[in-house]
Structure 1
């Protein structure tokens, strides 16, 4: 089985639909799209956003290595040149972008209820 973070397996949505707050929403008479998109989907998106955020951060790190080794122009090479030239605004921008991408999954449950 491929790597699945905890809770992001395909049956995670089915498990979320069995939770008490979903049952209560159905008892209150909310429409099924409102329940799915307003209550169930935000709870199911956390693990998926974790994988997306970490993949983006690792891809950027890999881009730096590949662009330096093969001398390709790109963001990775730009970052490495900025580090060597001590261009702090560029370094700060890349660190902020990477810092926002990497822990995306740990804060992905902000919208969940």
Structure 2
């Protein structure tokens, strides 16, 4: 039952990501001004938003470590996983920004 509680939010998030990606696929992307939806941003703005989220993720992850009292190895694995995902997202957005938008 524990795996259901862990896997359900992950599967639901992935479904939302796929749906939103298809909805905003051919829409015009914004590079200036406030945009709530991540999918309406250009790759440059996605990269900037990823950089902005790093302090918030660290700020929110510290209470999780303190209050859940997980084992040290599990804390390290979760921390590495979050760091790798953020790094992959940042590198991907940077490469796509250089490929499609920086040429202009």
The two structures share one fold, judged by TM-score above 0.5: no
Structure 1 length-normalised TM: 0.36
Relative contact order (C-alpha < 8 Å, sep 6+): which is higher?
Answer: 1
